[in-house]
Structure formats: structure tokens, C-alpha cells
Amino acid sequence: MSDNYFEKLLDSIQHKTARVGVIGLGYVGLPLAVTTAKRGFPVTGFDVAPDKIEKLEESNSYIEAVASGDLQALNASDSVDWTTDFAELSKCGVIVICVPTPLTKYREPDLSFVRQTAEVIAEHVAPGSLVVLESTTYPGTTVEVLKPIIASSGHGVGSSVFLGFSPEREDPGNASYRTATIPKIVAGDGKEAGALVQAFYENVVDKVVPVSTTQTAEAVKIAENVFRAVNIALVNELKVIFDAMGIDVWEVIDGASTKPFGFMPFYPGPGLGGHCIPIDPFYLTWRARELELSTKFIELAGEINTDMPHY
């Protein structure tokens, strides 16, 4: 039976007959829903906010990366549905979770949105479906948090319902890179799940990069954002030091950037903004504490970047 569910789902993905449900229509989910529909899949976009659904039905985009004209064309072609009715998940062969993963006031991971979404999916998911988490989180979330909740549906995870992880890599405001052109890291919980996740995204984006496990895929996204946070903190510290020496840090960076190897320019600023860099590294520090390991670089970077607005 496992092969039957797998083969049927793989065939429907390859022929783009599988309906794709995207949960969470923010700066990650909405561009993904639109891109997936433009690539030929039938799409249902889910959100708990009725005002978002109303705007989308009226072809009014609230996300810079999505043009209202694209919404109008997709709505006119009946390529997409927008809804707050999560019972419609039962019609979806692929379900992608794009919900927030903030921090608590104690700088610990807040996975409440992921858990609530997984519970709703477990209530409505049909056998022969693929569920993919895109929300940034700590390594282990897919198998330790998402998997047990989906298993409560009564469907066998890995036999009739398949799980995967593919971290979002959106860069809001960057016109050079869009959902379809950013290489996509993909992984599945098991060989068949991995094949399904890879097949789906290969039909949606230009380049797919498979990795061996969902934990590895989760770690890739954390590593990317830790790298940025630490290097931003470093250049912020250099800014303070060079100012005290009467040296223009911008000129220093411009000069150092002429070296064709071994240097990558980062720029100082008043702390960190956006959805990822101020939050994601602390998912790893929390996970490391569970393993009784310290994350000195990450925590120091957080202190430096937090202090910059005062400077």
C-alpha cells in the first residue's frame, strides 16, 4: 500500500494534477502560492486572517514580491482558491506550511503556530499526501514536533502521509531574486518522502538542492542566518573601533572588497531588522543548551547587534 500511495502521489506531482495547499499567506507563503500556480499546479491558499483572503479574492496584493496583476490573472483562470476553511486541506495532495516561528520573551523558540497548524492538518489530511514545513526552526523540528502530530491523524507517516522540510529563503525587497530563482534546499523524512519533496519543488523552482535529512535541511537555514548575524556583529564592532581611530569604516570595507578572495563585505548599521537574522540564530542557541553546549559566537553577536541602536 505504501508504494501505491507513493507512486500515485509522485505521478500527480509530476503531471501537476496534485492540488497544492499553502498555509500562511505572508511574505513566504503568498509568493510560493503564486509561483506554484504560475508553474501549472492548482493551488489553494489558506490563512486565518479573513481580511487577507478578501484582498486576495479582489486581486489586491499586500506583498511587494507579488503583483496584483498576477493575482488578477490567476483568479480569472481559476488556478487558485483563497480560503479560511481548513477542511479544504482534504483535497490537497501537497500541503506546505509557511507560518511564523518567533521567539518568546525569554528568547526561546515559539513553535505554537507550527503545532496549531500541524493539528489542523492532522484533522483534515487525506492519505496519499505530502506535508512540507518551510518555517525556519531548529534542527529536529520536523521529526520531533511535526511528525508525532501528523501521526495522530491515524495515517501512517512514511506510508500514506509523507513529511519533508524545505527552508524558505525569501529576501523581501530584493528584486534580483524571487521564489522561482532562489535555489531550494529540500529533504524528506525517509527515501520516498525525499523523492516526493524533490519532485514537487523541481516543478516549482529553477534549481533544487537535495540534502540527506530534514535535520540537515533545518541546519542549513540556521547556518545561513548565523553566518550573517555573526559577520554583521563583527563589522558593527569594527565600526565602533574605527570611529574611535578617526577611520571611515565604509572606505575600509570598499578597500577590502577589492581583494578577489578571502573577504566578503558586510556593512554596519543600527542593529538588525527583518524576520530572520534577529530571531533564527537563537533557535540554535536554545537547541545547543539542551545538549549542554555553549554558543559563544552567536550570543556575543546578539549582544553587539542589540547594542548598536544605543551607539
Q: Where are the beta strands (DSSP E) in the chain?
A: 20-23, 43-46, 80-83, 94-97, 129-133, 161-165, 184-188, 208-210
Q: How far apart are CA 115 and CA 51, in angstroms?
A: 23
Q: What SS3 string covers 16-71?
A: CCCCEEEECCCCCHHHHHHHHHHCCCCEEEECCCHHHHHHHHCCCCCCCCCCHHHH
The dihedral built from the CA positions of residue 246, 247, 248 and 249, taken in this order, carries a sign that is: negative
Q: β-strand 20-23 against 80-83: which pairing, if any?
A: unpaired
Residue 131, strand partner residues: 95, 163
- Quickly tell me which residue has 525569554 as its cell: 106
Q: Cβ distance 26 to 63 under 8 Å?
A: yes
Can 276 be counted among the known catalytic residues? yes
Query: Exposure string (b/e) for 231-244, b if CB count within 10 Å is 16 or more?
Result: ebbbbbbbbeebee
Backbone angles phi, psi at 273, to 5 degrees: -125, -170
Which is it for the CA torsion 275, 281, 284, 288, positive or negative? negative
Catalytic residue among 276, 277, 279, 304: 276
Task: Give which of 267, 301, 265 is closest to 281, Cα–Cα.
Answer: 301
Dihedrals phi, psi of 112, to nearest 5 degrees: -60, -40
Give the active site residues: 276
